[in-house]
Structure 1
């Protein structure tokens, strides 16, 4: 599937396939509670004829690829993989029909032992002995299809779900906090980068309080905490969203060290650096 093909998938079909239904349909618009932020009053609308979305509260919108990237904190490549779900190639549903959609249903969570998931971690240079301290494996269902994935739990009971083929999350989407020294706070964008840092620093537990955002949109939940921190260590992505988050954090508190520009300035994220020749060369010099 390429980008042009993906844009023909209806946004309402994608949302329904993930258990998200409109609160009302008025004229050419379907209104939803926002799938990309906390939203008590429906302010996310989809233009049915143009197949475009706009989040009134967030102040931006776009096409289906933009939406999938926002919802899953992924790249265009990741969005295209997610949009290859067979159900999305079926004809669009009618809003007059009652839909039976349960979205992502977690059936079972257990300690990490699935061989395919362990091989996936190995391909990302993450040892099982470190991953198993923070990651479980989940068996879940999307409609009638069964899947399994790495499961990284957030503070509200939702899971970030990762496998070789999929990058999804179950609701609610929220931050993950790992206890430590409260004076200093480490901030990571995703859990794979947090695990990469554990490998890089050759430790099993961070000394400082550590927050994994699970998406930069969750930054709003920790703004007050960051304002009062004596020191903040950033391990964000070196892309547009990561740079934007870094700038917002530096406005909240000047006591920031941006390790994304110090440790892996020539790579998009910590895990990409971990898998690079630069990391191997740096490790040999230690």
Structure 2
């Protein structure tokens, strides 16, 4: 098929063919978990009348080819066209069937992403592109090698590799310069220091690595050096760990300076009151710990 024929394929049919179903659908639009990144709250919308998509979380948009470039992680358009053609029958837009108000559990999009990972191989972090990426983010290389692994896997028939951060359930948070996701099972990561009554809380593992680097460089005031360290790997994991957090006398939150981070702090303060300390409150010009590490300030 040529480009014009490819563009006649409905994006919703392409997404269905690669394992993604809408969480909500009307006659004019469909909402999804973004198919090329971790997206726990559906923020990816397809306009079925115009056959275009928009990712509200990243402000990216485009047609089916633009989407496939992100899904298959290649700028080789010839390869992209071939993979779309192999995945999707060329169904004309006007004859596509429609099932009104289709509802699926919110986790289906994540399951589809997870099921796409094949042939997983985890090894020591040594790949120069991955180390270079972490170095550009200011992360200490010794800390990176100690805390992270390197995952090699296939996804939709193509080979990839990424930084892998283990969680306590045996899964991995994975990231490279082009992708952020999870290899199941999804869970928090707890780094226990033994007997302690305080804990430091982080949203993602890049925040955790930034914290360790800032602490090593003595650029961060750390109120408790022997605290347990808990990486949520998603703020949606907070309810799972609330029973454990009740046991701590002091909770130091190094969460993002955004609405999601503040909601977590507010929720914890309802649970533990003055025992909860928002450590990012003193750094309002920085979105997160990594921005502090690399000196990236937001506009006041």
Fold match, TM over 0.5? Answer: yes
Please tell me whether the aligned partners of residues 51 and 63 of structure 1 are also in contact (alpha carbons under 8 angstroms): no
CA apart distance, 1:196? 0.5
Matching residue of 2:159: 146
Question: Deviating runs (4+, > 6 A) in structure 1?
Answer: 78-83, 92-95
Larger CA Rg, structure 1 vs 2: 2
* Deviation of 1:85 (Å): 1.2
1:212 equivalenced with 2:247 (yes/no):
no
Aligned to 2:202: 188
SS at match of 2:181: strand
**Unpaired runs of 5+ in structure 1?**
23-29, 31-44, 55-59, 67-73, 279-286
1:133 is displaced (CA, Å) by 1.2
Within-5 A mapping of 1:158-197? 158-180=171-193, 181-197=195-211
Q: 1:82 to 1:221 in 2, by over 3 A?
A: farther
Change (3 A) 1:165 1:88: farther
Distance in 2, matches of 1:137 and 1:176, equals 17
Q: In the aligned structure 1, how far is the partner of 2:255 from the partner of 2:230?
A: 11
Distance 1:133 1:244 in 2: 31
Distance 1:46 1:183, change over 3 A: same
CA shift for structure 1 position 105: 2.4
1:243–1:137 CA distance, 2 compared to 1 (3 A) = same
Residue 260 (structure 1) aligns with = 280
**1:155 aligns to 2:155 (yes or no):** no
Q: How many correspondences in the alignment?
A: 231
- Structure 1 counterpart of 2:57, from 46, 53, 76: 76
**Alpha-carbon distance, 1:47 to partner:** 2.0
Distance 1:166 1:238, change over 3 A: same
Deviation at 1:216, TM superposition (A): 0.2
Counterpart position of 2:102: none
Alpha-carbon shift at residue 210 of structure 1 (Å): 1.1
Q: Find the residue that maps to 2:277 and give its secondary structure.
A: strand
> Does residue 126 in structure 1 map to residue 139 in structure 2?
yes
Query: 2:25 aligned with 1:47, yes or no?
Result: yes
Deviation, structure 1 residue 170: 1.2
**Does the CA-based 8 Å contact 1:16-1:103 persist in structure 2?**
no
Q: CA deviation digits over 1:84-131, x for unaligned, max 9?
A: 114679647999xxx9x9412252110111000010010000121011
Please list every run of 5 or more consecutive structure 2 residues that lacks an aligned counterpart in the other structure. Answer: 1-6, 34-39, 47-54, 73-82, 98-111, 218-224
Q: What is the aligned-residue RMSD (CA, Å)?
A: 3.7
CA contact (8 A) 2:163 2:176 kept: yes
Q: In the TM superposition, what whole-angstrom CA distance separates every residue of 1:28-59 from its partner, at most 9, and x where no partner exists?
A: xx7xxxxxxxxxxxxxx4326431369xxxxx
Distance 1:82 1:151 in 2: 25
* Alpha-carbon distance change, 115 to 248 in structure 1, aligned in 2, over 3 angstroms: same
Report the secondary structure of 2:197's partner residue.
strand
Residue 34 of structure 2 is aligned to residue 64 of structure 1: no
**CA–CA distance in 2 between the matches of 1:107 and 1:149?**
11
